[in-house]
Amino acid sequence: MSRETVGLLLGFLGVCMFAGTLPFTHLAVDGLSPIFVTAGRAAVAGLLAAATLLFLRRKRPKRHQMGMLVLTAACLVIGFPGLTSLAMQTVPASHGGVVLGILPLTTSIASALLAGERPSPAFWLAAVAGAALVVIFTLVEGGGALGRGDLYLLAAVFVTALGYVLSTKLVRSGFAGWEVISWVLVVALPLSLPVALWLLPVAPASVPLWSWIGFAYVSVISQYLGFFAWNAGLAIGGIAHVSQVQLLQTFLTLLLASLLNGESIGLAAWLVAAAVLGLVLLARHATVRRLRS
């Protein structure tokens, strides 16, 4: 297989893992505070990452890489989890999944600005069309206005796009994909672990079991293992191309929201998901030029 195909397959595997993030976050915040979910998932994943790095005896990052690791942690360990946890208090997971469909466009913009990729006009046309569908859907469902939950989700989209590009640059600097997210989580541990312990429920047994299941999923799968495949896919196949695979996440999230959260998915949501799927295929054949760094 070509490098691009391998990158797309790895990216799709990561997307399958990430698709459960909003439905399981919705379960988690039903019985746990959003701040605890944010800090707790980072702490659990950070401890797993530290154990993995110690067991494999990986070398510490160089001093000049620490700044980028801290910024990536702010985006992917604090920004996205915190904003989506807040959003899941006011909007359905299915709605959030459709709003996050704009993420490939923002990732492409970030890659063009920061990572030296230059997508073709055809690529931009497909990406903008997909994002426009998502925005229109959001406005229609919100009665012509964006709610507080929508604003949290849109903010999450932008910080995540920046985090994806920064983590990919770290992969290209010599780290393996799993090492990047591992060090990012370890860098965040001095903050995430004390906050998680401070906000730990006084009576954990009183928290509904499904909330703990949701918390476990976003801690181990969404916050850690999903990035193994995703970071590698972006680095191998190119940020702009592979990021378009994330448009499929909308469709997968709708399915999981229906199964896990008992949400009724309207016809409009399925039509939007089907339309952006077609745009993924269009963007797949558009050229992306990577400039030399």
Choose the weakest-confidence range: 11-20, 259-268, 278-287.
Answer: 278-287
pLDDT digits (tens, 9 = 90+) for 92-146: 888 888 788 777 777 777 777 776 667 778 777 877 787 787 778 777 766 666 6
What pLDDT, in 10s, does the model give residues 43-76? 999 999 999 999 988 888 888 888 999 999 999 9
Q: What is the pLDDT of residues 225-245, one digit of tens each?
A: 888 888 778 778 877 677 777
Residue 209: CB atoms within 10 A of its CB come to: 10
Per-residue pLDDT at 206 exceeds 80: yes
Share of the chain above pLDDT 70, in %: 90
What is the pLDDT, as a whole number, of residue 284? 60
Residue 20 confidence (pLDDT): 92
Tokens of 65: 């890489």
Q: How many CB atoms lie within 10 A of CB 277?
A: 14
Residue 85 has pLDDT above 70, yes or no: yes
Band of pLDDT at residue 293, cut at 50, 70 and 90:
very low
Predicted confidence at residue 32, as pLDDT, reads 95
First to last CA, the chain: 26
In this prediction, residue 116 carries a pLDDT of 67
Q: How far apart are CA 139 and CA 25, in angstroms?
A: 23
Taking all residues of the chain, what is their mean pLDDT, rounded to a whole number?
84
pLDDT in tens, 165-203: 888 788 777 777 778 889 999 999 999 999 999 999 989
pTM for the model: 0.81
Beta bridge partners of 117: 290
Q: Where are the domains of the chain?
A: 3-290
Alpha-carbon gap, residue 28 to 182, rounded angstroms:
23
Indicate the burial class of 174 (C-beta count within 10 angstroms; 0-12, 13-18, 19 or more). Answer: exposed
